């Protein structure tokens, strides 16, 4: 069974601080996506990474896919209150249509 563990589960930081969220598995994924989800809404896609070692940047967000495609990280630089939300990673294995979702990291950025 493929599992994705995210850490930390909860994170409360001050505006302007940097943070990193981790997404780890013992399984290899063909692709991995990061989402942000607001309460009562569907996950909104932030990025898809597909190549081991790949780094993608989205403004102040930097996403990295591990060399072995088993893990990923999301780094936020100079966090802002608008970054507050639930961040989810989801991985997809070869030959399957389904994404396995991680446990989520709930981020709160205080002004």
Partner 1 sequence: EPEVTQTPSHQVTQMGQEVILRCVPISNHLYFYWYRQILGQKVEFLVSFYNNEISEKSEIFDDQFSVERPDGSNFTLKIRSTKLEDSAMYFCASSESGADTDTQYFGPGTRLTVL
Binding site for partner 1 (CB under 8 A): 30-31, 33, 35, 40-45, 48, 50, 88, 90, 92-104
Closest approach of partner 1 to the CB of residue 31, in Å: 5
94 vs 111, beta carbon nearer partner 1: 94
Contacts for 91 with CB less than 8 Å, ≥ 6 apart: 2, 4, 23, 25, 27, 29, 31, 32, 33, 99, 100, 102
End-to-end CA distance of the chain: 40
Task: Give whichever of 12 and 103 is closer to partner 1, judged by the CB atom.
Answer: 103
Q: Work out how close the CB of 42 gets to partner 1 at its nearest, in angstroms, rounded to a whole number.
A: 4
> In this structure, are residues 1 and 55 in contact, taking their beta carbons and an 8 Å threshold?
no
Closer to partner 1 at the Cβ: 18 or 96? 96
CA angle in degrees (0–180, nearest 5) for 29-47-40: 100
Smallest separation, CB 111 to partner 1 (Å): 27
């Amino acid at each position: 069974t493929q599992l994705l563990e995210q850490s930390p589960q909860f994170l409360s930081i001050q505006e302007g601080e940097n943070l990193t969220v981790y997404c780890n598995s013992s399984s290899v994924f063909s692709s991995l996506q990061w989402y942000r989800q607001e309460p009562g809404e569907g996950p909104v896609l932030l990025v898809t990474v597909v190549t081991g070692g790949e780094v993608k940047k989205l403004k102040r967000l930097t996403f990295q896919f591990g060399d072995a495609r088993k893990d990923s990280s999301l780094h936020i630089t100079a966090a802002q209150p608008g970054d507050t939300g639930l961040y989810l990673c989801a991985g997809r294995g070869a030959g399957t249509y389904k994404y396995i979702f991680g446990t989520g990291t709930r981020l709160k950025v205080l002004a």
